[in-house]
């Protein structure tokens, strides 16, 4: 069902119906299955607008879809490609090959729909993981319903939520909007998302994995386990080799310690002998010193005796000479 604006219907009435009603019935912007019939109001001096045919319907189905939400949803569904920014899951450039608005989520309960559905191709593993599809919820004022999210998780469908940034909201109200303004807005958002730096900032609501992806992950995990087992066996062998080497070094250390103890005892014995020899040398030095003193004393006494002997000899010689002279004179 195509969306039309109140201004577009006003133009149609002026061009083809002389301002009179077109005779068509229009429907509210609720999700499929909840839309209520509306009539087009076009009076001179007032802005064209829609109103519920049955005023009670305004309160039965709840507030309808906002124009900002609807236009942004249309823009997202029209892109040929963009970058999905998935937080911790990284950035993924995708090429859109099919899109739908108000995609039905098939299950056994009450009808549920996603705002936008994309089938895509990607050079990253995201396409393989998500089966090349993603369900997108556009958040303007309300987060996705818990019941809908529970169904999505039960069906293992990949779903993200995109919040409309305030800077890129549609700037015209329902009374101010025109087809041209709406088309220009959708084109601007489309070009922005498709650009080289364009992206959709997504919060991942459900991150399932396809069976082939899980098989691939299982295969990778088994390879890692095999590699880890090989590393474990190698580590055990290395541990065994290290244990043998440790035992050898421990034995060597024990022998070295014993040799060191023997050497220490020998060194202590040598030190004792050295100390005893030093003490003995000290005693000998003291004895030598004493002997030197005694020798000096003996030499001094001997020197005195020689002097006295020389004096006596001189006296004796003098007496002998006197006697000789006396005998010669008296003879």
Is the alpha carbon torsion for 256, 258, 264, 269 positive or negative?
A: negative
User: φ, ψ for residue 17 (rounded to 5)?
Assistant: -130, 15
Tokens for 44, please give them.
Answer: 């001179």
Q: What is the pLDDT of residue 319?
A: 84
If we measure between CA atoms, which residue out of 68, 257, 70 comes closest to residue 166?
68
Q: Hey, where are the domains in the chain?
A: 6-60, 67-209
268/230 Cα distance (integer angstroms): 55
Q: What is the pLDDT of residue 132?
A: 97
Q: Contact 74/100 with Cβ under 8 angstroms? A: no
Residue 97: count other Cβ atoms within 10 Å of its Cβ. 12
Q: What is the pLDDT of residue 82?
A: 97
227/225 Cα distance (integer angstroms): 5
pTM over 0.75: no
Judge whether residue 222 has pLDDT over 70: yes
Residue-wise pLDDT tens digits, 73-125: 999 999 999 999 999 999 999 999 999 998 999 888 888 889 999 999 999 99
> For residue 292, what pLDDT band results from cuts at 50, 70 and 90?
confident
Label the pairing between strands 133-139 and 159-163: parallel
Is the alpha carbon torsion for 92, 97, 100, 104 positive or negative?
A: negative
Q: What is the pLDDT of residue 66?
A: 76
Judge whether residue 8 has pLDDT over 80: no
Residue-wise pLDDT tens digits, 146-162: 999 999 999 999 999 99
Tokens for 25, please give them.
Answer: 């019935």
Q: What is the pLDDT of residue 190?
A: 96
Give the pLDDT mean for 285-302: 86
Residue-wise pLDDT tens digits, 129-141: 999 999 999 987 7
49/254 Cα distance (integer angstroms): 101
Residue-wise pLDDT tens digits, 39-78: 667 766 566 665 656 655 544 554 456 778 888 999 999 9
Q: What is the pLDDT of residue 51?
A: 60
Beta bridge partners of 120: 96
If we measure between CA atoms, which residue out of 26, 51, 48 comes closest to residue 37?
26
What percentage of the chain reaches a pLDDT higher than 90? Answer: 47
Q: What is the pLDDT of residue 47?
A: 64
Give the pLDDT mean for 296-320: 83
What's the whole-number average pLDDT of the chain?
85
Cβ partners under 8 Å of residue 12, min gap 6: 22
Q: What is the pLDDT of residue 26?
A: 63
Question: DSSP of 54-113, one letter per residue?
Answer: STTHHHHS-S---HHHHHHHHHHHT-SEEEEE-GGG-EEEEEEEEEEEEEEE--SSS-EE
200 phi-psi bin (left φ>0, alpha ψ -120 to 50, beta other): beta
Residue 320: count other Cβ atoms within 10 Å of its Cβ. 10
């Amino acid at each position: 069902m195509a969306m039309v604006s109140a201004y577009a219907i006003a133009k149609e009435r002026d061009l083809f119906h002389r301002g009179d009603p077109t005779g068509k019935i229009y429907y509210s912007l609720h999700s499929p299955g909840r839309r209520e019939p509306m009539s087009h109001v076009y009076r001179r001096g007032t802005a064209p607008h829609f109103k519920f045919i049955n005023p009670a319907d305004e309160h039965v189905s709840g507030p309808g879809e906002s124009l900002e939400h609807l236009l942004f949803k249309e823009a997202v569904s029209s892109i040929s490609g963009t970058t999905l920014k998935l937080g911790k899951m990284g950035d993924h450039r995708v090429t859109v090959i099919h899109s739908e608005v108000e995609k039905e989520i098939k299950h056994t309960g009450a009808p549920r729909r996603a705002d936008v559905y994309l089938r895509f191709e990607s050079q990253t593993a995201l396409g393989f993981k998500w089966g090349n599809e993603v369900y997108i919820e556009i958040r303007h004022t309300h987060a996705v319903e818990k019941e809908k999210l529970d169904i999505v998780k039960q069906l293992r469908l990949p779903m993200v939520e995109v919040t409309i940034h305030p800077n890129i909201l549609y700037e015209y109200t329902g009374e101010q909007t025109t087809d041209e303004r709406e088309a220009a807005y959708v084109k601007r958002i489309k070009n922005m998302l498709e650009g080289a730096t364009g992206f959709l900032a997504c919060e991942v609501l459900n991150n399932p994995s396809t069976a082939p992806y899980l098989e691939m992950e299982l295969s990778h995990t088994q390879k890692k386990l095999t590699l880890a087992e090989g590393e474990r066996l190698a580590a055990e062998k290395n541990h065994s080799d290290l244990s043998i080497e440790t035992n050898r070094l421990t034995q060597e250390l024990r022998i070295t310690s014993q040799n060191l103890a023997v050497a220490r005892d020998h060194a202590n014995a040598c030190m004792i002998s050295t100390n005893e020899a030093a003490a003995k040398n000290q005693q000998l030095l003291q004895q030598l010193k004493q002997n030197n003193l005694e020798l000096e004393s003996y030499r001094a006494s001997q020197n005195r005796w020689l002097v006295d002997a020389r004096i006596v000899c001189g006296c004796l010689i003098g007496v002998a000479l006197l006697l000789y002279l006396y005998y010669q004179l008296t003879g």
